Amino acid sequence: MNAHLRRTFYLFAAGFVALVGMMAYWQVYARESLANNPQNGFQTQRAIASPRGLILAGDGETVLARSEKRQGISGPVYERVYPEGAPFTGVVGYWSTKYGATGIEIGNNTDLSSVAGDPETLDELINRATGGPQRGNDVTLTLDHDLQRLAYESLAATPTGRGSAMAINPKTGEILALATYPSFDNNNIDQSLPELSQNPDAPLINRATQSLYPPGSTFKVITSAAALKAGVQPSDEFFDPGTYETAGLTVTNYQGKDFGSITFAEALAFSVNVIFAKIAIFEVGPELLAETAQDFGYGDPYDDFPLPVSGSDLGYPVEQWVEGNTAQISFGQDRVSSNVFEMALVAGTVANGGDMMDPRIVKEVRSPDGIILDRPSPGVRNDVLDPATASTLNGMMQNVITTGQLTEAEVPGVKVAGKTGTAEDPPRQPHSWFISFAPADDPEIAVAVMVENGGVIDAEDNAATPAIPIAQDLMEAHLRDGGG
């Protein structure tokens, strides 16, 4: 073979290999992402010609999303209808051939779409082979319909009308409610989206998972866990003179109070910033505090969750912490940022004896003819605390309710554990937080509630606590109704 032919052969061979590689990439590696992309025009046209699967609430009966047949220009088309509307939009999302998709509609698109993924049953295979319209699979969520609606309506009734709430089963990680307010009606999204995108209250954002806020004193639960790991005991006494000076920072307590000699347990019950700053600096240290927060989920992007989650953050690499950072981080200020998704998991971890469960919002997936295709099992995401430490912290959080006299948080007949937070958001009013679980001696529900700028300071320098009664209502309703 002469040099010219050999060069031609090598060029042809290289081109053939490149072509095969490119086809393999698009057909194998990128196939699912293309199929799940609602901006893919080919898939979009196929999608509107076939009904998507149902999205159902946790009872397996309440329909949150369905496809309805309409007569299009060139034949029948299917449009999405959302019977329950705004209270569920933050989770369900929307499916639009014009604007794409959000929520479970895109997170579980492979299940819901009859044109994404491989056929799961013989009926699907036959329909696909013959070109007939085949319905997608049905996705049942873990949401308790009544609890979700209660959370949404409670947030709507707050003074600021902005906030979020999440309730979980701490033993399984199943999400019982995941509410954000304001929200929007996901029906007719093609017409309403331009106006919604200009709304200054940002109803398109799921505040429960996507927004980030300073967690305030709810973070003291994490600092307390680190202190217990460092050997601090609930009965250990500390002295609070009312202020603590460190480089460039003066730590003060709420309303400028000084508590004098006080135990660690009392410091949590009365949310004493000065004591927590001292414990974080002198007993715990930056490394253990950062490590404990990370064990609880700070820094975790939760990429395996079907909804987008903004990961909670400590604000600085631990190597850059100085005393002032450590002090402020200990009570959830400085650059610490979180959301109710994360803080509900923090409460749930303490409730579950120190094991953080994988957060789950999909209960099961069924084919159109009722065959169970997927039913996720509970899984431990992280062993955060040993059972003894978790039990001690549980008791300290119960003490917050009793010693701290949080009567608004009490549920008749059961023990409640919790922690308040009034998170500074200058120049606006503080955020109102509350995380809790009940019954504290055998937890069935853990809750986190945040009302944006709801911690309004009155003339007597008292902060409003609208998050507490919302959490109390959710816990009481769940326990009264036997878990839905």
Strand partners, 446: 168, 437
Cβ-contact 32, 117 below 8 angstroms: yes
The strand ranges marked E within 88-206 are 95-96, 100-101, 138-141, 163-168, 175-181
Helix (H) or strand (E) holding 263: strand 260-263
Q: Which residue from 338, 369, 332 is spatially nearest to 138, judged by alpha carbons?
A: 369
The number of C-alpha atoms within 13 Å of 257 and in the hemisphere containing its C-beta is 14
Strand partners, 423: 431
Helices (H), 25-141: 31-35, 41-48, 86-92, 103-107, 109-112, 122-130
Sheet holding 428-438, edge to edge: 175-181, 163-168, 445-451, 428-438, 417-425
In this structure, the number of other CB atoms found within 10 A of the CB of residue 317 comes to: 8
Would you state the pLDDT for residue 97?
86
Would you state the pLDDT for residue 33?
53
For the record, the structure tokens of 475 come out as 């816990």
The per-residue pLDDT string of the chain (484 residues; one tens digit each, 9 = 90 and over) reads 566 666 666 666 555 655 555 555 544 454 455 455 555 444 444 457 789 999 999 999 999 999 999 877 667 889 999 999 999 999 999 999 899 999 999 999 999 997 654 554 445 544 554 455 689 999 999 999 999 999 999 999 999 999 999 999 999 999 999 999 999 999 999 999 999 999 999 999 999 999 999 999 999 999 999 999 999 999 999 999 999 999 889 999 988 899 999 999 999 999 999 999 999 999 999 999 999 999 999 999 999 999 999 999 999 999 999 999 999 999 999 999 999 999 999 999 999 999 999 999 999 999 999 999 999 999 999 999 999 999 999 999 999 999 998 999 999 999 999 999 999 999 999 999 999 999 999 999 999 999 999 998 787 778 889 999 999 999 999 999 876 4
Distance CA 265, CA 256 (A): 20
DSSP 284: I
Q: Which residue from 292, 275, 272, 295 is spatially nearest to 283, judged by alpha carbons?
A: 275
Cβ-contact 78, 51 below 8 angstroms: yes
Distance CA 176, CA 167 (A): 5
Q: Is 435 helix (H, G, I), strand (E, B) or coil?
A: strand
Q: Which residue from 349, 307, 355, 361 is spatially nearest to 437, judged by alpha carbons?
A: 349
Would you state the pLDDT for residue 464?
86
Would you state the pLDDT for residue 458?
81
Q: How far is CA 443 from CA 10, 168, 226, 386, 478, in A?
A: 69, 10, 22, 17, 12
Would you state the pLDDT for residue 11?
63
Cβ-contact 475, 411 below 8 angstroms: yes
Domains in the chain, start-ordered, CATH in brackets?
38-141 (3.90.1310.10), 145-183+204-362+381-480 (3.40.710.10)
Distance CA 325, CA 336 (A): 10
Question: Model's pTM, two decimal places?
Answer: 0.88
For the record, the structure tokens of 142 come out as 């873990």
The number of C-alpha atoms within 13 Å of 420 and in the hemisphere containing its C-beta is 31
